[in-house]
Amino acid sequence: MKKLIACLNFLFVGMCLHAQEPVDYVDPFIGTTNFGTCNPGAVCPNGLMSVVPFNVMGSADNKYDKDARWWSTPYDYTNSYFTGLSHVNLSGVGCPELGSLLLMPTTGELDVDYHHYGSKYEKETASPGYYSLQLTKYNVKVEATSTLRTGLIRFTFPKGKSHILMNLGEGLTNESGAYLRRVNDREIEGMKLLGTFCYNPQAVFPIYFVMRINKAPQQTGYWKFQRKMNGIEAEWDQDNGKYKLYTQYDRDLAGDDIGAWFTFDTEDNEQIEVAVGVSFVSMENARQNLEVEQHGAGFDEIHASARKQWNDDLSRITVEGGTKAQKTVFYTALYHTLIHPNILQDVNGEYPAMETGETKTTKNNRYTVYSLWDTYRNLHQLMTLVYPERQIDMVRTMIDMYKEHGWLPKWELYGRETLTMEGDPSLPVIVDTWMKGLRDFDMETAYEAMRKSATLPGKDNLMRPDNDDYMSKGYVPLREQFDNSVSHALEYYIADYALYTLAKSLGKKADANLFYNRSMGYKHYYCKEFGTFRPILPDGTFYSPFDPLQGQNFEPSPGFHEGNSWNYTFYVPHDVKGLARLMGGQKKFVDKLQMVFDKGYYNPANEPDIAYPYLFSYFKGEEWRTQKTVRELLAKYFTPKPDGIPGNDDAGTMSAWAVFSMMGLYPDCPGVPEYTLTDPTFDRVTIRLNPEFYGKDQLVIEKKGNGSAEGYIQKIELGGKKTGYRIHHNDLVKAGTLTFYK
């Protein structure tokens, strides 16, 4: 009786408070088209596993096909042909990878060719830790949920002959090759090759899996696409150039394009659950992950747990005021910042060491998917403020990577350094974390690692291959047309400035001096003629002919990576005032920056210029421009719609920009523990601080006064004391309140 009451109570609370919990504001469909590359799949916070609808292959009805263009997400909202649920995926990333272990239900005659077995769908729904749709071709309901390292899928079949297919031949990854073997009638285990991220041919790694079905099938088997034979021989092999069905073989299978099928006689509305455990260490670990995390629980229990984990995490920030749409945007953005980096280690603590793949054991969480050229800008700063226990493990992980591989990460993916994008982004992340008081990590080794990439000659330097030029000249000259030399150097300046502040605080005066001087080298690139940065040739002269607009829309541009000179010219966050002086003073700086926005030179869809709106606030009297610009950008580019992220979410970086901006503060200089303030979206934001790190258990940001939404901040108080538009992290968390008066 007590149980029943508790249950009714739960239902009641569930119904009444439904729209009031943070988790309910999340709309996982936001960012799932317009190249946001987010997906609506089921995932837990920072979970290794995500179970995502795969709808980017097999049909001309799809607008986007993974093989027809550069394509980096398993799902696009505007597509319509579902070919399974993919297990372990990237969110908001711009290169094709992962998105494999495709699990598909079908009915009727067995067909293992995804060109045929895919289906249109309806009744698509998603919430944190849950995804569902109804396949119109088969009248099968598909539901997915997950734990940290496992997926649980529930299919509701109609009466008749039903099949469950596990396709190991396809996926978003461009690497192929898989191995599987039958454990028993209801369980298979195997391995699939992943990798070639951003078409890097050597960044290859294996994923191991176990798949377990909660009902014994009537029949099972494998398939493998048979290589095309030629000539006479082709006539004898009935499966030549086709998907061969293995009906009488059930031992080990390997090949480029293989899969397993399970056939059932189902009753109407019969539900069958499929559990998938993964590991990047071994099949044994995949099984252990499955057994420990699902421990025989059913779909509803696992789903409730995933939802609770999300609500607990999202509840670290409570917002009041603002529209429902704004809350949806905010909590969905926060949700997107809690997907990567994700944990890598198995329940037993084992993980594949960086680059070697050697099995190692960790006590703290081992993270992976470090898209650092993106996330060093704001995502790690968000973690430091709101989820410091995670950020410190992320830093520990980075230092462990150095211990294993000799290098801090640049773009790490499941133990492989993909060397995507440029710079030395681990440095500002580690320094930023340290300077904000999170210090329980091996700084001695971290300093060694940072100094190594800052000082090693180019030929031996994985992070800074052009370090010889940089160290000797103070800049990187353009040696090849599209060598991104200016972008490289701008990143090194920021990294070196971070290293300077750290060296200074550690009393390493010589280092501090060295790195400070280097960090000011950006001035070499300033060209008075154009008022912008401009590539420099090896002979020291500027590159000609020069067009500061060349490089828009991700076109190639000499010296600049994924952008043009305008997207980079203000990117000296560590010396904004110095840059202003170089440009002729505050007014010229502000006017030029305003022009960037007015003329549409600002690219909201990529990282180099995303801190631009905050630069106005470095100058007294100009802070309103920050507030106005941020407000406009939020309204225009961050909406509660599938296209509501301006471009690749970049592993949560765009979303972190929105989260900070909507709370009224932004860490515009990575490595410098400060925030620039702006008009928050909400009346009141309460951040539950982790007292273990910050002493206090909450930080309240609130708006007071009667100013209109369009109005500007009149006064700011930190802990009741007036403050300016840039505040130190330590002051903020110590104060506990940040009050904006409008």
User: What residues make contact with its own copies under the rule CB under 8 A?
Assistant: 67-70, 174, 176-179, 191-193, 195-196, 199, 201-202, 204-206, 224, 226-227, 229-233, 236-239, 244, 246-258, 352, 355, 357
Structure tokens at 685: 């934001």
Tell the smallest beta-carbon distance from residue 554 to its own copies (Å): 15
CA 431 to CA 411: how far, in whole Å? 18
Our CB check for its own copies shows the closer of 111 and 237 to be 237
Our CB check for its own copies shows the closer of 130 and 243 to be 243
Tell the smallest beta-carbon distance from residue 96 to its own copies (Å): 9
Our CB check for its own copies shows the closer of 157 and 205 to be 205
Tell the smallest beta-carbon distance from residue 66 to its own copies (Å): 8
Task: Please list the helix, strand and coil fractions of the chain in percent, rounded to the nearest 5, in that order.
Answer: 35, 25, 40
Question: Dihedrals φ, ψ of 247, to 5°?
Answer: -105, -20
CA 384 to CA 376: how far, in whole Å? 12
Tell the smallest beta-carbon distance from residue 178 to its own copies (Å): 5
Closest CA to 48 of 413, 418, 399: 413
Give the sign of the dihedral formed by CA 74, CA 375, CA 446, CA 409: positive
Closest CA to 29 of 98, 127, 140: 127
Our CB check for its own copies shows the closer of 188 and 503 to be 188
Tell the smallest beta-carbon distance from residue 650 to its own copies (Å): 20
Tell the smallest beta-carbon distance from residue 202 to its own copies (Å): 4
Q: What is the CA radius of gyration of the chain?
A: 26
Q: Residue for token digits 């000609």? A: 544
Our CB check for its own copies shows the closer of 103 and 258 to be 258
| Non-local CB neighbours of 142 within 8 Å, separated by 6+ positions | 53, 82, 85, 105, 132, 133, 134, 135, 153, 154, 155
CA 608 to CA 565: how far, in whole Å? 10
Q: Which long-range contacts (CB under 8 A, 24 or more apart) does 354-358 make?
A: 354/400, 354/401, 354/404, 354/405, 354/409, 354/412, 354/415, 354/417, 355/404, 355/405, 355/415, 355/416, 355/417, 356/404, 356/405, 357/205, 357/415, 358/404
Tell the smallest beta-carbon distance from residue 176 to its own copies (Å): 6
Tell the smallest beta-carbon distance from residue 67 to its own copies (Å): 5
Our CB check for its own copies shows the closer of 292 and 353 to be 353
Our CB check for its own copies shows the closer of 176 and 676 to be 176
Our CB check for its own copies shows the closer of 228 and 721 to be 228
Our CB check for its own copies shows the closer of 26 and 166 to be 166
Our CB check for its own copies shows the closer of 289 and 655 to be 289
Contact 603, 561 (CB under 8 A): no
Q: One-letter amino acid identity for 156?
A: T
Contact 294, 283 (CB under 8 A): no
Tell the smallest beta-carbon distance from residue 263 to its own copies (Å): 17
Our CB check for its own copies shows the closer of 214 and 226 to be 226
DSSP β-bridge partners for residue 253: 180
Tell the smallest beta-carbon distance from residue 227 to its own copies (Å): 6
Kindly list the distances between the CA atom of residue 191 and the CA atoms of 164, 207, 252, in Å, as whole numbers in the listed order: 19, 6, 11
CA 290 to CA 183: how far, in whole Å? 14
Question: Dihedrals φ, ψ of 422, to 5°?
Answer: -135, -175
CA 416 to CA 597: how far, in whole Å? 38
Contact 45, 129 (CB under 8 A): no
Our CB check for its own copies shows the closer of 414 and 492 to be 414
Tell the smallest beta-carbon distance from residue 236 to its own copies (Å): 4
Tell the smallest beta-carbon distance from residue 186 to its own copies (Å): 17
- Which helix (H) or strand (E) segment holds residue 701: the answer is strand 698-704
Our CB check for its own copies shows the closer of 155 and 179 to be 179
Taking the alpha carbons at both ends of the chain, their separation in whole angstroms is 54
Tell the smallest beta-carbon distance from residue 258 to its own copies (Å): 7
